Structure 1
Amino acid sequence: MLKRALALSATILISGCSQESTTTASDEPAPDTAAQESAPHQMTDHWIGRWVGVEGLVLEIRHKDSAGPGNYLLEMQYGLDADQRGTFEGQATAEGIRFTREDGEQLLRKADGEATGLKWLADKEDCLIVQPGEGYCRD
């Protein structure tokens, strides 16, 4: 009887420890998620350089060195009119690069050519999009 009680007690202790460690592990974010949230600029740093749209639209992404990691300068011709051009400051987020220009707050995000909504870019794979009809791709 004493052996049975000891065995039962040991089983209860072991299962209690097992449940506690499972609960602790599930409260922690997955390693990939934690890395992306802590450094979203690691994704957007790959976007630095020149991107080309249609009919003269172009986007040049550079680091904004004075502001630290995750801060960019976006030089863009984003429309056909001469006043649809400028250089804008952007900040990396988990979704892309957030920036503000005359037409409001924008989000530059990863896409493929089909998502741009532009038939001339439809077959491209490496693209960035602000909104349908405004996309920039690399070959």
Structure 2
Amino acid sequence: MNRTPFLGTLFAVASLFAMGCQERTAEAPRTSPAAAPAAASAAPAADQWLGKWNGPEGTFVQIAGGNGQYEVTVQNLDGPRTFKGTAAGERLEFERDGVRESVRATDGAQTGMKWLSEKKDCLTVKAGEGYCRD
């Protein structure tokens, strides 16, 4: 029996096998969505409200800060006052004159103020106290 053709075939099969393994190991590892790192927790809704929001007759609310801690400046007919606020879910809460107030996103109609009724991007503290982006 002549072993040369058999050894040649065996060598060819081994070479193909080795090349196939090299191609597999050269591929970038695949990650499944479950293996991906968890997304960072979302910023509080109030972080989207930073800046100045205008009301009628020169009133406004201005929100500064972020990451759940805020300074809320309310300008009404008596002048501006600043309060410390904190994020609470979809609201921003602050205390004014011993009363716990909360700011929430609404449209103009939900402010309860006819001057703002056509606006779309607003914040409301309570009925009759609202502010909108121009």
* TM-score for the superposition, normalised by structure 2: 0.65
Give the residue type in structure 1 aligned to 2:130.
G
State the identity as a percent: 45
* TM-score for the superposition, normalised by structure 1: 0.63
Which of the residues 95, 110, 113 maps onto 2:108?
Answer: 113
Structure with greater helix share of residues: 1
Which of the residues 56, 62, 85 maps onto 2:58?
Answer: 56
Give the aligned partner of residue 70 of structure 2.
Answer: 72
Q: What are the ranges of 5 or more consecutive residues in structure 2 without an aligned counterpart?
A: 1-38
Q: Is the 8 A contact 2:104 2:124 kept in 1?
A: yes
State the distance in 1 between where 2:127 and 2:98 align.
Answer: 15
Larger radius of gyration: 2
State the distance in 1 between where 2:43 and 2:124 align.
Answer: 17
Moved segments of 4+, more than 6 Å: none
State the distance in 2 between where 1:109 and 1:40 align.
Answer: 15
SS across alignment from 1:44: helix
Q: What are the ranges of 5 or more consecutive residues in structure 1 without an aligned counterpart?
A: 1-34
Alignment RMSD: 1.8
Which of the residues 102, 105, 110 maps onto 2:97?
Answer: 102
Give the aligned partner of residue 44 of structure 1.
Answer: 46
State the distance in 2 between where 1:40 and 1:107 align.
Answer: 18
Q: Is the 8 A contact 2:46 2:90 kept in 1?
A: no
**How many angstroms does 1:95 deviate by?**
2.9
Q: Is the 8 A contact 2:53 2:133 kept in 1?
A: yes
Give the aligned partner of residue 81 of structure 1.
Answer: 78
1:19-62 CA distances to partner (integer Å, 9 max, x unpaired)?
Answer: xxxxxxxxxxxxxxxx9xx6561x21110001000112111110
State the distance in 2 between where 1:98 and 1:39 align.
Answer: 18
State the distance in 2 between where 1:99 and 1:109 align.
Answer: 12
Paired residues in the alignment total: 95
1:69-104 CA distances to partner (integer Å, 9 max, x unpaired)?
Answer: 210001111x3234xx31000000113101001151
